[in-house]
A and B are shown apart, each in its own frame.
Chain A
Amino acid sequence: MPAEPDTIAALSTPAGTAALAVVRICGPNTAALSAALAGGAPPPRRALRRDYHDREGRLIDDVLMTYFPAPRSYSGEDTLEISCHGSPYIVQTLLEDLHARGCRPALPGEFTQRAFLNGRIDLSQAEAVMDLIQARGERALHAAHQQLRGALSERMEGLIDRLLSLLAQIEAYIDFPDEDLPEEDKASVINHLSDLLADTSHLAATSRFGEMLRDGVKTVIAGEPNAGKSSLLNRLLGRERALVSPEPGTTRDFLEERIIVGAHCLRLIDTAGLNPAPAPLEELGMMRTRERLAEADLILVVIDGRRPEELWTDEIRILSRDPRSIIVLNKSDLSEFVDWDGATSSPTLAVSALTGAGMEALFQAVVARVDAYSLEIGADAVAVSARHAFALAAARAELECARANLQHGAAAELTASHLRGALSAFGEITGKVDNERMLDQLFAAFCIGK
């Protein structure tokens, strides 16, 4: 008898940030879930306006819910569509709540696959969607790699290696009882497992979803000293915030502010000026500026519009060609201002931070840039990070069971069963971890061979 399919949930609209986002749920548990969310069995195919509260009763959003009972739904199974506001934060929180209520993240193309298997669409329709499935899969992969690059990836691999080593410790005594193995050290296994559990919990807490979505688009304002970076920040914020003074090099600490531009949250970071001949005190500030630049999503390169290109420093020249950059020629109100139309693909805008001239165009350029950026990874980043959160929670639960088993002296193969469960949850994030990798660790750690 084939098993009942899972109830799946996923974001069904393409863009990360938009006016609206639609989260779709389908599968056998949908009817019960719909009733719970809507406060009573919802009528078929009628949009209901409801406040969405998570399991702890916190209000998440004001949403429209539409329930489509089987078979008259996209997938042919009971389906609930939730239209919420198109903020990645809201979508993320909503998906996490649905996971907590027993849904699992849908695989790429799973709705369409079910629609086809239930006879709702024909092969040619399915094939057309399939091209999208693959494109979406690739994009999700891309987003996953984006998230997985650097620190997170290293941490995941670190966790997996440590888990494999623990598993090898247990498996060795199961599979090689007749070998000359050292005395089994249960206490050390429990200690290592506790450390692993703590680190998994920590990772789950910090990578709950992508940093960009959580904290906004990291927008670094950079330029030579006295180019007017802090004035621009103040203008963007619409109020006096940064300490503005005519003395170059006033900003030594970083100022961070958040603003909403269009549908996006921007995290504005003002930095110390990039002085080609820094005073000793400035050195440290500039080093930190460069660190911020390295991790920026968007760079506003502020240039004193009175200085022609020949006078720019090399550093500014390089920044002006960075694909993340928007070039802001400031001080357009002054008579010495030279409009510049240099050979760079970065948008270039003339503004006056003092008078506010040109600011509207700058806002539009920023929105256009971040829109493109969200389109590229926004939606998939949500999907991917929802999957991460789901997987890490599962891994944590398994590790906790494994530890309890070890403490109670349960049979080793049961402990191993939980450790393997945790490994397969980690594998949901990084790709499946083959048993060969455990055996590699086992044969490296123990001399097996009668």
Chain B
Amino acid sequence: MGSSTLLLTGNIDTIAQMSCNPAIGGQAKGQMVREIDALGGEMAINTDVTGIQFRLLNESKGPAVQSPRAQCDKKAYQYRLKHTLELQPNLEIFQATVTGLLISQGRVRGCQTNLDLDFRAATVVVTTGTFLRGLMHIGQNKNEGGRLGDFAARTLSASFVAAGIELRRLKTGTPPRILGRSIDFTRMEEQKGDHQPTFFAFHDTRRDGELFHVEHTFERRLGWAPGCEQVSCWTTHTTGETAQIVRDNLHLSAMYSGEIEGVGPRYCPSIEDKFVRFADKPRHLLFLEPEGRATNEYYVNGLSTSLPFDVQVRLVRSIPGLEKAHLLRPAYAVEYDFAPPTQLFASLESKKVEGLFFAGQINGTSGYEEAACQGLVAGVNATNKVRGVPPLIIGRQEAYTGVLIDDLVTKGTNEPYRMFTSRAEHRLLLNHGSAELRLLGHAAKHGLLGADRLQRITEKRDRIQHWVSRLESERCPGITWGDAIRRHERAAIEHPDFARESLPVRQEVAYRIVYKGYLEREQRQVEKLAQMEHVRLPVDLDYLSLRGLRRESAVKLAAIRPLTLGQASRISGVNPADISILMVHAAAGRAGESR
């Protein structure tokens, strides 16, 4: 977008460091990474380039719920992204810890740092991760910091509170890391990557030769033969002994001894939670994930805990294949401050402080992909704000990114929020392959992709539309190709001209033909709701004095301050009669403006 930007970080060497497992994608998240690519973000290409194992999840189900997932080389991922930032025009990077914000007259003016250097800016995006008053727990042992070996941002919270921004605590956890040569892999099951990897970036509309691999990090644009030399993950499981150790030491766990006030995620329970909440389940599956090619460190997925270190050692060694395991880093739980996201507009700008944007875990989310989507949107909107351009707001029917942000700012969250495909009511429209088609309009409008790539996406979209209508009308003979495909009598690939199309085009066309009825059904639902999405509500609307509105609804509306009627309708407790009244007022407001 060309705006002059400063990146302040407490440690340049940990830019894009994966604090949790070295994997990108998976259910719903994989779709989000492709959306990031469609909006000009780096996560997809960075994953493709540094990935060491690729798998397409849910291959047996329909395309809408298939998701790419990759194990990455943790260090390579981090270095490549750091290098990309270094080469990025208009971006300055500087190492300093932000200690406070400069705010005057309800507007952010910049920030202060631990080096006593102040930086002035028209807009500021805050991405504190787990570092805001981060506190790590290992049994009774406590250390300040957002990640093992790192510091905590101790004073910045006070700056938010002083500005009237409410903060609360969340908790997350991470398992121990283990030395590979102490693992007996013969006692585990191997999980290999797909023979034909599914990549995240849209290489068909990106320029040729952009794909290069971790071994060639510093030689840009060198091609790499996909699919070669993937590494494996390994699975094992807990035993009766593991369960016994957990039960015997439950009182020592930070989470069970009342040391932790933050709320943890239900979908990522600690091993303590698993044995307590699912007491009748005899064993739990564990995954050993390699952290890279140039390291022998393994991540034990499924074994997050806040038990004391000596108990962790016994725990790990009760697991088949890990009898002689050497722990390189202990598991720990981390608590941190977040700002309930209903305090934000859908642009991710604070309602309290103008020009201040929040993205990532400070908004109560968890996950690299969720954070990246928000960072992208917040960044775009910080620029739009400076330029006086309307913000980028992505609809729930357009992308998981839209679902994510709308959920956050409309409903808030009580636990670290992770995306699931079930959160998207128009899930069938959000298949990973269509991300750049769905977001083409936004990318063009906000200048997020180069003209040549936009051109290629437009051509791809037109080719897909051409083929859908051609196959729906051309007969083969007797019935149309579309009907023949849906009845499994013919495959689209049997059409001689179609077979020459590129794989991404063929896949999208096949999806639209095979799932035609369902896609049209969702499209109709979307169109019904579109009317409400198009009615904008003034930010300064005085709900409490609106005639006819119930008091209870007025209070909720005044707190959320929805930007559209659609958003208003998703606030819990706002009923259809309230929406009728708002619609009349919104229309009256528009008529007033035009006079």
- Residue numbers of A with Cβ under 8 A of B are 1-3, 5-6, 107-110, 112-113, 116-117, 123, 126-127, 130-131, 133-134, 136-138, 141, 171, 174-180, 411-414, 416-417, 420, 432, 434-435, 438-439, 443, 447-450
A110 and B57 alpha carbons, distance in the complex (Å): 45
Q: Are B583's CB and A113's CB within 8 A? A: yes
Q: Are B584's CB and A116's CB within 8 A? A: yes
Residues of chain A contacted by B62 (CB below 8 angstroms): 411-414
17 pairs, CB–CB < 8 Å, chain A vs chain B:
A107-B577, A113-B580, A134-B549, A137-B577, A171-B422, A175-B421, A175-B422, A177-B27, A177-B61, A180-B237, A411-B61, A411-B65, A412-B62, A414-B428, A417-B521, A435-B423, A447-B284
Residues of chain A contacted by B518 (CB below 8 angstroms): 414, 417
Task: Please report the total number of B residues contacting A with Cβ < 8 Å.
Answer: 59
Q: Are B425's CB and A130's CB within 8 A? A: no
Q: Are A133's CB and B278's CB within 8 A? A: no
Q: Are B302's CB and A449's CB within 8 A? A: yes
CB distance from A26 to the nearest CB of B (A): 15
Q: Are B420's CB and A178's CB within 8 A? A: no
Residues of chain B contacted by A447 (CB below 8 angstroms): 269, 274, 277-278, 281, 284
Residues of chain B contacted by A420 (CB below 8 angstroms): 425
Q: Are B577's CB and A109's CB within 8 A? A: yes
Tell me which of B57, B281, B304 contacts A178 (CB under 8 A): B57
The answer to whether B268 has its CB under 8 Å from any CB of chain A is yes
Q: Are B27's CB and A175's CB within 8 A? A: yes
Chain B: which residue is nearest A420 at the CB level? B425
Q: Are A176's CB and B531's CB within 8 A? A: no
The answer to whether B550 has its CB under 8 Å from any CB of chain A is yes
Given contacts A180-B284, A420-B425, A449-B274, whether A412 and B581 have CB atoms under 8 Å apart is no
Given contacts A412-B61, A449-B274, whether A137 and B575 have CB atoms under 8 Å apart is yes
The 10 closest A-B pairs by CB, nearest first: A137-B577, A180-B285, A3-B527, A130-B548, A411-B62, A109-B580, A108-B577, A447-B278, A443-B266, A449-B269
Q: Are A133's CB and B580's CB within 8 A? A: yes
Residues of chain A contacted by B524 (CB below 8 angstroms): 3
Q: Are A413's CB and B581's CB within 8 A? A: no
Tell me which of A127, A175, A412, A450 contacts B28 (CB under 8 A): A175
**Other contacts beyond A117-B583, A175-B65, A412-B61: 17, CB < 8 A:** A107-B580, A131-B547, A137-B577, A174-B61, A175-B420, A175-B421, A176-B27, A411-B62, A413-B64, A413-B65, A413-B428, A414-B515, A417-B427, A417-B522, A447-B281, A449-B273, A449-B274
Q: Are A434's CB and B427's CB within 8 A? A: no
Q: Are B581's CB and A134's CB within 8 A? A: yes
0/1 per residue, B272-301, Cβ < 8 Å to A? 011001100100110100000000000001
Q: Are B581's CB and A130's CB within 8 A? A: yes
Residues of chain A contacted by B267 (CB below 8 angstroms): 443, 448-449
Tell me which of B427, B548, B576 contacts A413 (CB under 8 A): B427
Tell me which of A5, A107, A123, A174 contacts B588 (CB under 8 A): A123
A1 and B524 alpha carbons, distance in the complex (Å): 12
The answer to whether B158 has its CB under 8 Å from any CB of chain A is no
CB distance from B59 to the nearest CB of A (A): 9
A113 and B582 alpha carbons, distance in the complex (Å): 10
Residues of chain B contacted by A6 (CB below 8 angstroms): 528
The answer to whether B244 has its CB under 8 Å from any CB of chain A is no
The answer to whether B530 has its CB under 8 Å from any CB of chain A is yes
CB distance from A36 to the nearest CB of B (A): 23
Residues of chain B contacted by A108 (CB below 8 angstroms): 576-577, 580
CB distance from B10 to the nearest CB of A (A): 29
A118 and B530 alpha carbons, distance in the complex (Å): 18
CB distance from A400 to the nearest CB of B (A): 15
Residues of chain B contacted by A134 (CB below 8 angstroms): 548-550, 577, 581
Q: Are B422's CB and A438's CB within 8 A? A: yes
The answer to whether B3 has its CB under 8 Å from any CB of chain A is no
Q: Are A174's CB and B58's CB within 8 A? A: yes
Chain B: which residue is nearest A428 at the CB level? B576
The answer to whether B572 has its CB under 8 Å from any CB of chain A is yes
A421 and B427 alpha carbons, distance in the complex (Å): 13
Residues of chain B contacted by A141 (CB below 8 angstroms): 575
Chain A: which residue is nearest B191 at the CB level? A178
Q: Are B584's CB and A113's CB within 8 A? A: yes
Residues of chain B contacted by A5 (CB below 8 angstroms): 531
0/1 per residue, B245-279, Cβ < 8 Å to A? 00000000000000000000011110001100110
Chain A: which residue is nearest B419 at the CB level? A175
Q: Are B28's CB and A417's CB within 8 A? A: no
Residue picked from B65, B273, B427, most chain A C-beta under 10 Å: B65
Residues of chain B contacted by A417 (CB below 8 angstroms): 427-428, 518, 521-522
A180 and B301 alpha carbons, distance in the complex (Å): 12
Residues of chain B contacted by A133 (CB below 8 angstroms): 548, 577, 580-581
CB distance from A136 to the nearest CB of B (A): 8
Chain A: which residue is nearest B569 at the CB level? A432
Residues of chain A contacted by B423 (CB below 8 angstroms): 435
Q: Are B577's CB and A116's CB within 8 A? A: no
Residues of chain A contacted by B278 (CB below 8 angstroms): 447
A137 and B548 alpha carbons, distance in the complex (Å): 11
The answer to whether B475 has its CB under 8 Å from any CB of chain A is no
Q: Are B588's CB and A126's CB within 8 A? A: yes
The answer to whether B26 has its CB under 8 Å from any CB of chain A is yes
The answer to whether B12 has its CB under 8 Å from any CB of chain A is no
CB distance from B540 to the nearest CB of A (A): 19
A235 and B531 alpha carbons, distance in the complex (Å): 60
Residues of chain B contacted by A107 (CB below 8 angstroms): 576-577, 579-580
B residues 295-314 touching A (CB-CB < 8 Å): 301-302, 304
Tell me which of B64, B422, B580, B591 contacts A439 (CB under 8 A): B422
CB distance from A285 to the nearest CB of B (A): 46
CB distance from A344 to the nearest CB of B (A): 36
A117 and B587 alpha carbons, distance in the complex (Å): 7
0/1 per residue, B550-586, Cβ < 8 Å to A? 1000000000000000000000100111011101100
A174 and B528 alpha carbons, distance in the complex (Å): 27
Q: Are A2's CB and B268's CB within 8 A? A: no
Q: Are A3's CB and B531's CB within 8 A? A: yes
Chain B: which residue is nearest A137 at the CB level? B577
The answer to whether B195 has its CB under 8 Å from any CB of chain A is no
The answer to whether B470 has its CB under 8 Å from any CB of chain A is no
The answer to whether B534 has its CB under 8 Å from any CB of chain A is yes
Residues of chain B contacted by A179 (CB below 8 angstroms): 285
Q: Are A450's CB and B301's CB within 8 A? A: yes
B residues 404-433 touching A (CB-CB < 8 Å): 420-423, 425, 427-428
CB distance from A135 to the nearest CB of B (A): 9
Residues of chain B contacted by A127 (CB below 8 angstroms): 547-548, 584
Q: Are A3's CB and B284's CB within 8 A? A: no
